[in-house]
Amino acid sequence: MLLKKEASAEPRKLKKPFERDIYQIFGQTGTGKSQFTKRKIKEAKRVLVIDPQDEYCGIQHFDSIDEIKEHIEKNPKVFRIGVSDLRLFDECCDLIACCPSSLLVVEESQRVIPPTGRPPESFEDLIYRGRHSGTSILLVAQRPTTVNIAVRSQWNYLISFRQTERRDIGWIEDVTGYEIEEEIRNLEVMEYIEINRDGYEKKKLAGGFVK
């Protein structure tokens, strides 16, 4: 006789996915994008920065995946790693996806995620399914229209420093539904507009210069 397994007294609790954020940060050179990003890096405990122009001199940079793995194994709770070699981007995405509650920063994101074609597969997995590992993503570029259209539409925080190109501002207005062209054009250095799913707000970076 086939016996039925008795039901558990309490329903099995499913493991909840980690919380994570996706930031898209745009603006002209010298308007404050890097300062915003450096503040976010300081707030995080596990960070990997794709840094093709070596802007983040306060972060230890590595030249190989093996060196990065070794550093993370020695410092699993807190690490801030920089990578300048864009050829390591794919492997870096795979690696950071295995680090719960981490942050991936991609400077000059249009260089690894161009506007046409598919993004690298490992990054595609991360941005669409990284919620399960809690991997937050912060993408930085001067102009939104230079970044892959599917990728730039993935965000829960869209940060715009000053921009003047109508095409770029038009994309922001289209994707958010807010008519904010004049506000974006007239932003001062260190001022930005933060847009989330609930609305938008003009803000200014406070405090001193972050190295």
pLDDT per position as a tens digit, 94-140: 999 999 899 999 999 999 888 888 888 899 889 887 667 789 999 99
Domain at 22-40+87-204: CATH code: 3.40.50.300
pLDDT exceeds 50 at position 164: yes
Question: How much is the pLDDT for 94?
Answer: 93
Helix (H, G, I), strand (E, B) or coil at 78: coil
Q: Would the pTM of this model clear 0.85, i.e. be above it?
A: yes
**Mean pLDDT of the region 30-38:** 96
What are the structure tokens assigned to 102, written together?
């981490």
Helix (H, G, I), strand (E, B) or coil at 13: coil
Ramachandran region, residue 108 (left: φ > 0; alpha: ψ -120 to 50; beta: rest) = left
pLDDT band of 16, cuts 50, 70, 90: very low
| For the chain, domain boundaries | 22-40+87-204
Question: How much is the pLDDT for 131?
Answer: 65
Q: Which one, of 3, 184, 19, lies nearest residue 100 by Cα?
A: 19
